[in-house]
Amino acid sequence: MIRGNILNVFTGDIYPAEIEVAGGRVSCVRSISGNFSDIILPGFIDAHLHIESSMLTPSSFAAAAIPHGTVSTISDPHEIANVMGVDGVRFMIDDAAATPMKFYFTAPSCVPATPFETAGAEITAREIEELLRMDSVVALGEMMNFPGVIAGDDGVMAKIEAARNLNMPVDGHAPLLSGDELCTYIGAGISTDHECVSPEEVLEKRRLGMKIMAREGSSARNLRDLAAAGCDFLVSDDIHPADLLEGYMDRILRRAVDYGIDPVSAVQMVTINPAEHYGLSTGAIAPGWDADFVVVDSLRDFNVKRVYIDGRPVAEEGRYLIRRRGGTRAPPGNLKCLIFQLRGWMSGLRVMRPL
Ligand SMILES: [Zn+2]
């Protein structure tokens, strides 16, 4: 039983409540009376990230991300896929399973990123379909080949078709695409974009039904420019190890409030909004949802005091409480994978030291 002020992401109100948990899920939420200073939020979701940019394997990434209140990410493993194809994606999925963090993945749609590049692998439409059928895969990853979509390229359309046949969302990536070409791109079934750089671009895409991700990571930072335009999700896209030590979705929330976004809306952008779009079971404090919570001091500073996943405490005052199980072994004989894993371990040690 956990008691405190809860933020209800369905109604946007905050009130004292007790949360009952059974089997890792919320079984009941009751309003109570009492004075509580802390606020219980659903665990944060980063709706668009490339874990590889952190130089960490997913299991090491979890140890650094969870103390900052992030319980889930939707990750496009296209960086590792460009080096080692489907084997790389499977490695990320297997390694992610060694932690309590909820890693969801998208099937990388553009490997190689362009035909002009010397990539280590290619992912075909048939392989995309296999990946989409995996448990933790929730969408087709960012469709960077917008000229291919506009031209109706067979290979590109087959990948989109595979996702649509399975009722799965298709993520977009369409910088400055506008007018009739944007309509064709959206009409193909692409429902998100994280490349907007101006409020006008956000407005045009939202009017046509797209959901907009505002980026505030280590590479692109558009939140200040887009804050007033009305976005749907807050995401990092990329986060470097040194930045991850300083903060993660907690810091993005703090900045969102600094830039004028209503704190309750900001929390919805990292919880219920991505949860509903991608069909996740984490992202709200209500019966049947995963018992993933973040206890913060206020909706201004978002200082994370405690984190629960499946009803179990996993971080307290910046410390990760889970004993690490060492992640997944690289497939035997696969040198590229082993190098990536060793880099992950080494960066992981650096990340863990101050905790
Ligand atoms: Zn991206």
- Separation of 26 CA from ligand 1 center, angstroms? 32
What pLDDT score does 350 carry?
52
- Separation of 194 CA from ligand 1 center, angstroms? 7
Measuring CA to CA, how many Å separate 72 from each of 22, 216, 279, 342?
20, 17, 13, 24
- Separation of 3 CA from ligand 1 center, angstroms? 37
Asked if residue 112 has a cis previous peptide bond (ω within 30° of 0), the answer is yes
Measuring CA to CA, how many Å separate 202 from each of 6, 84, 175, 271?
31, 35, 11, 21
pLDDT one-digit tens code per residue, 169-183? 999 999 999 999 999
- Separation of 191 CA from ligand 1 center, angstroms? 14
- Domains, the chain: 43-281+323-352 (3.20.20.140)
- Both structure tokens of 202: 């956000």
* Whole-number Å distance between alpha carbons of 173 and 171: 7
- Separation of 35 CA from ligand 1 center, angstroms? 42
* Whole-number Å distance between alpha carbons of 84 and 111: 10
- Separation of 180 CA from ligand 1 center, angstroms? 24
- Separation of 94 CA from ligand 1 center, angstroms? 21
pLDDT one-digit tens code per residue, 181-235? 999 999 999 999 999 999 999 999 999 999 999 999 999 999 999 999 999 999 9
- Separation of 1 CA from ligand 1 center, angstroms? 38
pLDDT one-digit tens code per residue, 337-350? 556 666 655 555 55
- Separation of 251 CA from ligand 1 center, angstroms? 19
Checking if the pLDDT of 57 tops 60, the result is yes
- Separation of 103 CA from ligand 1 center, angstroms? 16
- Separation of 190 CA from ligand 1 center, angstroms? 15
- Separation of 272 CA from ligand 1 center, angstroms? 21
Q: What is the dihedral of CA 84, 133, 47, 277, to 10 degrees?
A: 160
Q: At what angle do helices 154-165 and 125-132 cross, to 10 degrees?
A: 20
Positive or negative torsion for Cα 35, 36, 41, 42: negative
What pLDDT score does 295 carry?
98
Q: How many other C-beta atoms lie within 10 A of the C-beta of residue 151? A: 12
What pLDDT score does 120 carry?
87
- Separation of 85 CA from ligand 1 center, angstroms? 17
> DSSP for 252-312?
HHHHHHHTT--HHHHHHHTTHHHHHHHT-S-S--STTSB--EEEES-TTT--EEEEEETTE
- Separation of 39 CA from ligand 1 center, angstroms? 31
- Separation of 111 CA from ligand 1 center, angstroms? 13
SS3 172: strand
pLDDT one-digit tens code per residue, 67-116? 999 999 999 999 999 999 999 999 999 999 999 999 999 999 999 888 77
What pLDDT score does 331 carry?
52
What mean pLDDT, rounded, does the chain reach? Answer: 92
- Both structure tokens of 355: 């905790």
- Separation of 172 CA from ligand 1 center, angstroms? 9
SS3 226: helix
152 pLDDT band (50/70/90 cuts)?
A: very high
- Separation of 50 CA from ligand 1 center, angstroms? 6
- Separation of 229 CA from ligand 1 center, angstroms? 21
- Separation of 237 CA from ligand 1 center, angstroms? 5
Q: How are beta strands 137-143 and 102-107 bridged, if at all?
A: parallel
Checking if the pLDDT of 326 tops 60, the result is no
pLDDT one-digit tens code per residue, 272-324? 999 999 999 999 999 999 999 999 999 999 999 999 999 999 999 999 999 86
SS3 99: coil
* Whole-number Å distance between alpha carbons of 225 and 337: 38
- Separation of 292 CA from ligand 1 center, angstroms? 25
- Separation of 33 CA from ligand 1 center, angstroms? 44
What pLDDT score does 220 carry?
92
Checking if the pLDDT of 333 tops 60, the result is no
- Separation of 215 CA from ligand 1 center, angstroms? 9
Q: Where are the beta strands (DSSP E) in the chain?
A: 2-7, 14-22, 25-31, 39-42, 44-49, 70-75, 102-107, 137-143, 170-172, 192-193, 211-215, 233-235, 293-296, 304-309, 312-316, 319-320
Mean pLDDT computed over 150-175: 97
The pTM assigned to this predicted structure is: 0.92
- Separation of 204 CA from ligand 1 center, angstroms? 20
